[in-house]
Amino acid sequence: EVQLVESGGGLVQPGGSLRLSCAASGSTVRSYWMHWVRQAPGKGLVWVSRINIDGRTTNYADSVKGRFTISRDNAKNTLFLQMNSLRAEDMAVYYCAIDLVSGSGSLQSWGQGTLVTVSS
Amino acid sequence: QSALTQPASVSGSPGQSITISCTGTSSDIGAYNYVSWFQHHPGKAPKLMIYEVSNRPSGISDRFSGSKSGNTASLTISGLQAEDEADYYCSSYTGSGTNTVVFGGGTKLTVL
């Protein structure tokens, strides 16, 4: 069974940047679409982005389009999320997840999340 | 990309059955059989309970079942147990050129 571990979260000022990583172990993830989902403090889950198997197809929520970039390195079994121009409303726990059924959102395996705090 | 609509809370006694609804539109739930349900205990990773409207991943109890009618999906939990108390979220794929995923606002299940 695959395990996912997110890293790269932390405190950043508004307008700053962070790069999140999601390292997979126990199994290869090269055959799966992958997603980022976030949860702001006290709020619900919100979908952020997805990427296909070879990294050539990516999609984003309107709230992050143009500011966030999802990518993957299948050789390193790792997913990334580059976050630029960060805003207070981006503050959340960010989860990575593996899609059981192409890019449909059937998110079978999740990491424990990494906290991004945006504050001056 | 409007969120799917779920009731904020539901409750039930041990042994009872409850149903959580999830209402979308003809562009998401009504258009695709890609509805998923997740169980989330605070501080832990969300857990996939149902995918493709009514399929259970390996290891998920058959007390959990899903269905869909029109633009509304439902999750039913039978034989409620104390450990079922958690937040539950639905999600749906949305095509129509956006090719994104949308979540519901979440439902807090309380086992009385």
For B24-56, write each residue's pLDDT tens digit: 999 999 999 999 999 999 999 999 999 999 999
> How many Å separate Cα B91 from the centre of its chain?
7
Instruction: State how far the alpha carbon of A29 is from the alpha carbons of A42, A54, A104, B64, B75, in Å.
Output: 31, 11, 16, 27, 29
The answer to whether residue B45 neighbours chain A at the CB level (below 8 Å) is yes
- Measured between its terminal Cα atoms, the distance across chain B in Å is 35
Single-letter code of the amino acid located at A81: L
Of the candidates A62, A105, A110, the beta carbon closest to that of B101 is on: A105
Residue A39 pLDDT > 90 = yes
- Distance CA(A95)–CA(B48), nearest Å, equals 14
pLDDT classification of B98: cutoffs 50, 70, 90:
confident
pLDDT for the residue numbered B2: 82
Q: Any CB–CB contact under 8 A between B48 and chain A?
A: yes
- B104 Cα to chain A: minimum distance (Å): 8
pLDDT score at A118: 97
Angle at A59 between CA B23 and CA A89, to 5 degrees: 70
**pLDDT at position B97:** 74
Which bin fits A105, alpha (ψ -120 to 50), beta or left (φ > 0)? left
Q: A106 and B104 in contact by Cβ < 8 A?
A: no
B66-91 mean pLDDT: 98
Asked whether the beta carbons of residue B101 and residue A50 sit closer than 8 angstroms, the reply is yes
Q: Chain B closest CA to A5's CA: distance in Å? A: 11
- pLDDT at res. A6: 98
pLDDT, residue B95, reads 79
Lowest mean pLDDT among A12-16, A102-106, B84-88, B104-108: A102-106
pLDDT of residue A1: 85
Residue B10 pLDDT grade (very low, low, confident, very high; cuts 50, 70, 90): very high
